[in-house]
Amino acid sequence: MRRIDKDQRARIRLTLNGRALSAEAEPRMLLSDFLRHSLGATGTHVGCEHGVCGCCTVLIDGTAVRSCLTLAVQAEGRDVRTVESLAAADGTLNPLQRAFQNHHALQCGFCTPGILMSFTDYLARNPRPSEADIRDVLSGHLCRCTGYAGIVSALLEAAGYRQSSESGSKS
């Protein structure tokens, strides 16, 4: 691993949503700030900045991590994916995003990117989780608006338990 002096800016090279990028960062810079302020990936939200709310969740090499608890320098050489990677280039939502739309699983949307990225990782590893499993993973995310019911419905649809519906949730 490269040694970086605390006052020295390091050039971080990474793959962000399939694109090779690089930018400079101080050793103490958080990955969440690096993504938003240096790379323009503002879909990653920042709430508590100490690992509680989950809205800053991104994927590093396919694994969901809190970007507010990760230093930018730790992303060196890694594959980082943010919520901007989920929809197709023409804006078509992916199945998880569509399920959120179908079940009105967001209001202000502040928590949504982190939940989407957590469950992108989780559903890839556990394609048929129980509702209890879904609620367990969701407990790592704070949503101040929805009361979670629509989010759980959307995640159940994404896990294949419910029919897709454009008019609302169907149990």
The binding site for ligand FES (CB under 6 A) comprises 46-49, 51-56, 66, 68, 106-111, 143-146
- Report, in Å, the least distance between residue 50 CB and ligand FES: 7
Other CB atoms within 10 A of residue 149 CB: 12
Q: Is the dihedral of CA 139, 144, 145, 147 positive or negative?
A: positive
- Report, in Å, the least distance between residue 150 CB and ligand FES: 9
- How far is it, in rounded angstroms, from Cα 147 to Cα 65? 24
Two tokens, residue 113: 């990117």
Minimum CB distance to ligand FES smaller for 143 or for 160: 143
Two tokens, residue 74: 């730790």
- Report, in Å, the least distance between residue 98 CB and ligand FES: 17
